[in-house]
Amino acid sequence: MTPPDEEAALLALPPAPAERSLRYGPHPSQVIDYYGPGGGRRLTVLHGGFWREAYDRAHLSPLAAELARHGYAVALAEYRRVGGGGGWPATFDDVSQAVETAWDGAPQVLLGHSAGGQLALWAAARGGASAVVAVSPVADLGYARESRLSGGAVDELLGAEGELASVDPMRLLPLTAPTVLLHGTADRDVPVEVSRRYSGASGAVLHELAGVGHYAPLIPGSPAFPRLLAALAEVA
């Protein structure tokens, strides 16, 4: 699988139905889907999509189901996104509430992808996690803003004059939880340089995946998927 094929391969997977769902607010996006054994290692998953309404949790439901088969109790959290009632501060309010609600305050590992990686690092900095695994995270919002990643997604989220101090993982150091980053060297959506910068500043463990793009670690059965399991095993 080449990096350009990864997104299509992930989106082609049939959605996996949740075993149960929990609403944490009245908005349709304020919901958490659960997969796996109740007594498993607790994992809360935050999806990416550059914080935009067009991308929801469904594309990570096959991943959640597969992680459940590997013994994790998985909470796949949805949140309000830009274009659907989200942005600053609603997106962050939702993630904070979802992380607090998912396991009734019990210890949990946060797994975030892309923009969800940024949200996971942000939530962990607020004391919301025992550990974090972030896949291709937008871990440096200043860099992402200056580079206009995804056509200026940071400005869409925060506003062109929005402050970064309270939401940028690079500005929320030192780390408060063990953190592992996975990032493909062929990622064209979030360059690996973003994770290199964050790892250098924070001391987070960074595993670079040679020739891998933005999505492969999230695809069950892909050659990169075992690297995700290994990263989770480092902290969970």
pLDDT at 111 over 80: yes
Task: Report the residue count for the chain.
Answer: 236
Q: What is the mean pLDDT of residues 155-168?
A: 94
pLDDT at 236 over 80: no
Q: What residues pair up with 149 in beta bridges, in sequence order?
A: none
- The backbone torsions φ and ψ at residue 213, rounded to the nearest 5 degrees and listed phi first, read -95, -145
Domains for the chain: give ranges and CATH numbers: 3-235 (3.40.50.1820)
Q: Which amino acid is at 27?
A: H
pLDDT at 1 over 80: no
Could you read off the pLDDT of 128-153 as tens digits, one per residue? 899 999 999 999 999 999 999 999 99
The CA-based angle 207-205-80, given to 5 degrees, is: 85
- The backbone torsions φ and ψ at residue 111, rounded to the nearest 5 degrees and listed phi first, read -115, 115
Closest CA to 187 of 82, 112, 113, 76: 113
Q: Which amino acid is at 43?
A: L
pLDDT at 95: 98
Share of the chain above pLDDT 90, in %: 94
pLDDT at 15: 96
Closest CA to 136 of 122, 115, 153, 110: 115
Q: How many CA atoms lie within 13 A of 32 on its CB side?
A: 25
Closest CA to 49 of 22, 74, 84, 73: 84
Q: Which amino acid is at 42?
A: R
Q: Are strands 31-35 and 20-23 parallel, antiparallel or unpaired?
A: antiparallel
pLDDT at 113: 98
E-assigned strand segments in the chain = 20-23, 31-35, 41-46, 72-77, 109-113, 131-135, 179-184, 205-209
pLDDT band for position 124 (cuts 50, 70, 90): very high
Q: What is the mean pLDDT of residues 111-138?
A: 97
CA dist 141 and 124 (Å) reads: 16
What sections of 75-205 are H helices per DSSP? Answer: 90-102, 115-125, 141-147, 153-158, 192-202
pLDDT at 4: 80
More confident residue, 30 or 128: 30
pLDDT at 161: 85
pLDDT band for position 121 (cuts 50, 70, 90): very high
pLDDT at 208 over 80: yes
Residue 13, helix vs strand vs coil: coil
**The overall pTM is greater than 0.75:** yes
Residue 46, helix vs strand vs coil: strand
Average pLDDT along the chain: 96
pLDDT band for position 170 (cuts 50, 70, 90): very high
pLDDT band for position 3 (cuts 50, 70, 90): confident
